[in-house]
Amino acid sequence: MTPFTYHNPTRIEFGPGTENRIGECLNKDAVERVLLVYGTGSIKKNGLYERVLQSLQNAHIEYVELSGVVSNPVLSKVYEGIELSRAFDAQAILAVGGGSVIDTAKAVAAGVPGAGGDVWEFFTGARELDSALPVYTIVTLAAAASEMNGNSVITNEKTSQKYSIGSKLLNPRLSIVNPELMMSVSKEYLVYSASDIIAHAIETYFTAADHPRFQSRLVESIVKSVIELTDCLIEHPEDYHARAEFAWVSSQALNGLTTSGTGGGNFPNHMIEHALSALFNIPHGAGLSIVVPAWMSWYKEKNLPQFERFAKKVFGKTSAEEGITMLKRWYGSIGTPITLAQAHIPKERIPEIAKNAYELGIVWGMGEEYSVQDIEAILEKA
């Protein structure tokens, strides 16, 4: 195993009704003023909004609201949140929603203390994060694992750049995960979430120079669990226990556990998908189900034993190509796209997508491994 540091400071409160304790939890941390961040209104339809406000009011916690966060969250909304937080003198950020809401909250948390600088500089690597407001979350969609990591992904609408930041300073101090809040997730977003979770798990599994057997088994368990649970939830969307397992599996896929002790891994599928969703605003999971099988076909000879292991352990097949085919076939069976055409992305745009992805690859330190031509070749397979 490669030497590593594993430190996940996020506390998880998991189970029915846990969202009602948010005010109490904030009180214990001596938080009196929060910026409440949420999306486009779904939390108001299911009563969650009222329960959160009641909990805050019972705890005598003041709040201002930042609403309207969209999928593939944007930088302009982050700027709006930073201004609100500074004017209100917010002591913490409370995100109620899925990964997009949580990522926006983290970006705001990073930007508030940084007077005199642009928060986007953290995403481009021009500036290093050294302080942030504490973040609290109530999760309504299992996919991004943002509730249990220090990552935030934001799209700069002006430059069509979808970049990320990662810091333990942005790990939520507390995340409340009530699977009941996820019962109303549509089939469409369930399958996109499944694609996202699988991609989180397999990136390092396939690319790390050192991948211990225990870590490989963790990843294989995550992938098999996601497939089984997704199939179950498509048939029985009201199954609480399947929702609960799906939510917990999602957190494990990108909380640092699967990558501990691995060496040299990177995230090429996310690099390429970020370009897709930056340019075409498609759901992140939908983009990943297009990119992942294409990348696997292009990359498999570079780590053939691990691809053969994946085929055997996950699908009971013997060859790398069979494993890729089975994953692609499963994506197709659940209804998430597997080609650019299915996402209405013209083949003629591949050079533009590849250039956008390559520029992100440079920021992520992958520019030497993936040329523009390499990325074009991967996208051609899609």
Angle at the Cα of 296 from the Cα atoms of 291 and 300, rounded to 5 degrees: 160
Residue 198 in any domain: the answer is yes
Cα dist from 82 to 86, 102, 118, 191, whole Å: 6, 14, 11, 33
* Beta pairing partners, 155: 74, 162
Say if CB 79 and CB 46 are below 8 A apart. Answer: no
Rounded Cα gap, residues 156 and 146, in angstroms: 19
- Among 119, 146, 181, the domain boundary falls at 181
* Beta pairing partners, 263: 210
- Among 162, 181, 200, the domain boundary falls at 181
On whether both 200 and 233 belong to a single domain, the answer is: yes
**What does DSSP assign to residue 117?**
S
Residue 4 in any domain: the answer is no
Angle at the Cα of 332 from the Cα atoms of 331 and 337, rounded to 5 degrees: 80
On whether both 120 and 262 belong to a single domain, the answer is: no
* Nearest CA-CA partner of 213 in 252, 261, 257: 261
What's the number of domains the chain is made of?
2
- Mapped onto helix, strand or coil, the DSSP state of residue 261 is coil
Q: What is the pTM of this model?
A: 0.97
Instruction: Please give the chain's pLDDT, 382 residues, in tens.
Output: 999 999 999 999 999 999 999 999 999 999 999 999 999 889 999 999 999 999 999 999 999 999 999 999 999 999 999 999 999 999 999 999 999 999 999 999 999 997 678 999 999 999 999 999 999 999 999 999 999 999 999 999 999 999 999 999 999 999 999 999 999 999 999 999 999 999 999 999 999 999 999 999 999 999 999 999 999 999 999 999 999 999 999 999 999 999 999 988 999 999 999 999 999 999 999 999 999 999 999 999 999 999 999 999 999 999 999 999 999 999 999 999 999 999 999 999 999 999 999 999 999 999 999 999 999 999 999 9
Say if CB 147 and CB 137 are below 8 A apart. Answer: yes
Give residues with Cβ within 8 angstroms of 269, minimum separation 6. Answer: 199, 203, 288, 291, 292, 295
On whether both 191 and 176 belong to a single domain, the answer is: no
Q: And the tokens for 144?
A: 């991004």
On whether both 254 and 226 belong to a single domain, the answer is: yes
On whether both 225 and 104 belong to a single domain, the answer is: no
What local confidence, expressed as pLDDT, does residue 41 receive?
A: 83
For the domain that residue 55 is a member of, what is the CATH number? 3.40.50.1970
Rounded Cα gap, residues 204 and 269, in angstroms: 10
On whether both 294 and 205 belong to a single domain, the answer is: yes
On whether both 64 and 51 belong to a single domain, the answer is: yes
Residue 66 in any domain: the answer is yes
Residue 105: domain span: 11-181
On whether both 94 and 200 belong to a single domain, the answer is: no
For the domain that residue 372 is a member of, what is the CATH number? 1.20.1090.10
* Nearest CA-CA partner of 310 in 376, 370, 221, 186: 221
